Amino acid sequence: MEDNYLDILKRSYIESYKEDKYYAESLAADIEITH
C-alpha cells in the first residue's frame, strides 16, 4: 500500500516538474521574442 502511494506521489511530482519546466521554457521564449 505504501509503495503504491509513493509511486503515485513520485509520478505526480515528475509530471508537475515536467509541466513547470515546459512553462519556464515557453516563458523564456516569449521574453526573447518580445524583447
pTM score: 0.49
CA distances from 29 to 15, 16, 20, 33 (A): 21, 20, 14, 6
pLDDT of residue 7: 92
pLDDT of residue 11: 92
Name the DSSP class of 5: H
Name the DSSP class of 35: -
Q: Tell me the pLDDT tens digit for each residue of 1-35.
A: 567 889 999 999 989 988 898 888 998 888 887 75
pLDDT of residue 10: 92
pLDDT of residue 35: 59
pLDDT of residue 30: 87
Q: Where are the domains of the chain?
A: 1-35
Name the DSSP class of 1: -
Grid coordinates in use for 32? 526573447
User: CA-to-CA distance for 9 and 13, rounded, in angstroms?
Assistant: 6
